[in-house]
Structure 1
C-alpha cells in the first residue's frame, strides 16, 4: 500500500506557492540555508520544476521581497498625511521584523522590486496629497532613508550575539572610560541596558525608532507649513 502524502506537497506548483515556501524556509532556517535544491525538497518536486516559475535564485529573492513587502498593511482609508505615513512605516517595520532576513535581501537587490515601488509610491502619495510640494517631498524621502522600511541605519552595526554573557567590566576600566570620555559614560549609564537592542545595549529599539520618526514628521509639517523650497531666493534649485 502506498503511504499517504502531505496534501500541501500534492498541490499544483505555482509561482505564489514557490515564493511563500521560500519565505517559510528562510524564516525557519535563515536565508543562508536557502537554495533551489533545498526549496524543491521542501516542496516535494525536482529542482528543475522550480525554474518554470522563477528563472533563477535572484528572481526568487526578488519575489520573496515582494511577498514580505506586499504584506505591509495600509492605514485607515482617509487619515491625514502624518497618520498615513506613520502608520505605513510602522507597519513596514512590523512586517520586516517578522522576517529577519528580509532587510539583508532588500539591501542586496540592484533596484526596488514592484512591491517596494508600490510602498514608496504610497508614502510619496501621502505627502503629495497632504499638501507637500514635489520639491519638499523629494527631500523628505531622502531624510527618511531606511526609515521608510522601519529601520534606522546606525553608525555601527550591532555586534553578533555572544554564546555566553559577557562578564561585567572591572570598575577600574569603567572609571578609565568615564575619565577619558565623560559624556559617553554618562549617557551609557543613563538607563538599564538590554543586550538585544540594535541601537545600543539597553536602548528600547521601538521607542528610539518612533522618537526619531516623530521628530522627522514634526519637522516635515513645519517645513510644509512654511512653504519651504530648496531653490535659493530668486533662483532655481540645483
Structure 2
C-alpha cells in the first residue's frame, strides 16, 4: 500500500496498476494477488493510509480547536497526496484508520454536546469545505506568487482595458500583493464555518 501511495504521488491515481505496483516492489503483478484481490483493494488501502496521516483530536478536547486542527491536518495530507481528494469517502470497504478517523471526529462532537443530527451536519459541512477547497487548490494554474504574476500578466494582456474592473481590482489589490498565497483563504473560510456551528443552537434542517 505504501508503494502504491508513493507511485500515485508521483504519477497520479491512474498510474497505480497491478503491474506498476508489482514492478515497484520488484515482483510480478500476479504475486500481488496472494495479498489483495485486485486494484480496488489497493485503492482501499491507499485511502486508509492517507486517513492515518490526519491528526485526530482527543474526544474530550474543546470541539472548535479540535475541528480546526483536524481540518488543517486533513488539508495538509490531501496536498501531500493530491490524487486522494476524490477518493477519501468513495470506498465501499473502509479500513481501520478510516473508521477510527470518522468515529473519533464524531465522538469529539458528541462529547461536546452535539446531538447525533448536529454532529452529522457539522461533519458534512466541514468535510465539504475541506475537500472542496483542496480540489480547487490543487486545480489552480499556478503554484506560487511568481507563477501567479506571470498568469495575471498573460490574462490582462488579452483583456480589453477597463472591461472587467472588479476582477482587475481583486487581482491587483489582493491576489498580486507581496506574500499572497491562495492557501491563506482556507483559514478565513474555516473560521466562518466554525463560528456558525453551535452544539445547542444548530438550525433545524
**Is 2:56–2:105's contact at 8 Å kept on the other side of the alignment?**
no
SS of match in other structure, 2:85: helix
Gaps of 5+ in 2: none
Q: Distance in 2 between matches of 1:120 and 1:83?
A: 17
Shift, 1:126, TM fit: 1.3
1:90-123 C-alpha deviation (Å, 9 max, x unpaired)? 111111211121113337x354723333322222
Question: Residues 186-197 of structure 1: matches in 2 within 5 Å?
Answer: 186-193=169-176
1:86 aligns with 2:96: no
Paired residue total:
194
Report the 3-state secondary structure (helix = DSSP H, G, I; strand = E; otherwise coil) of the residue aligned with 1:120.
Answer: helix
The alignment status of 1:204 with 2:185, answered yes or no, reads: no
Structure whose residues are more often helix by fraction: 2
Q: What is the deviation of 1:21? A: 1.0
The answer on 1:121 being equivalent to 2:98 is no
Task: Let me know the Cα RMSD of the aligned residues.
Answer: 3.1
Q: Is 1:176 aligned with 2:163?
A: yes
Query: Would the aligned equivalents of 1:127 and 1:137 in 2 still touch at CA under 8 Å?
Result: yes
| Residue-by-residue CA offset, 1:214-238 (whole Å, 9 max, x unaligned) | 11111113xx35x3452xxxxxx7x
Conserved? CA contact 2:54–2:70, under 8 Å: yes
Q: State whether residues 146 and 152 of structure 1, in contact with CA within 8 Å, keep that contact through their aligned partners in structure 2.
A: no
Q: 1:37 to 1:174 in 2, by over 3 A?
A: same
Structure 1 segments unaligned to the other structure (5+ residues): 1-18, 195-201, 231-236
Could you list the per-position Cα deviations for residues 142-179 of structure 1 after superposition, in whole angstroms to 9, with x for gaps in the alignment?
3224235584565xx535889xx54532396241122x
Flag the structure with more relative contact order, 1 or 2, with Cα contacts below 8 A and sequence separation at least 6: 2
Give the C-alpha shift of residue 40 in structure 1: 0.8
Say if 2:43 is the partner of 1:66: no
Q: Identify which of 115, 130, 133 aligns with 2:115.
A: 133
Label 1:49 to 1:215 Cα distance change in 2 as closer, same or farther (>3 A).
Answer: same
- 1:65–1:105: 8 Å Cα contact kept in structure 2? yes
Provide TM-score, normalisation by structure 1.
0.68
Q: Distance in 2 between matches of 1:188 and 1:43?
A: 47
Give the TM-score of the pair, scaled to structure 2: 0.78
**Matched residues in 2 for 1:82 and 1:71: separation?**
20
Q: Which residue number in structure 2 is paired with residue 42 of structure 1? A: 24
Distance in 2, Cα, partners of 1:110 & 1:65 = 8
The structure number with the bigger radius of gyration is 1
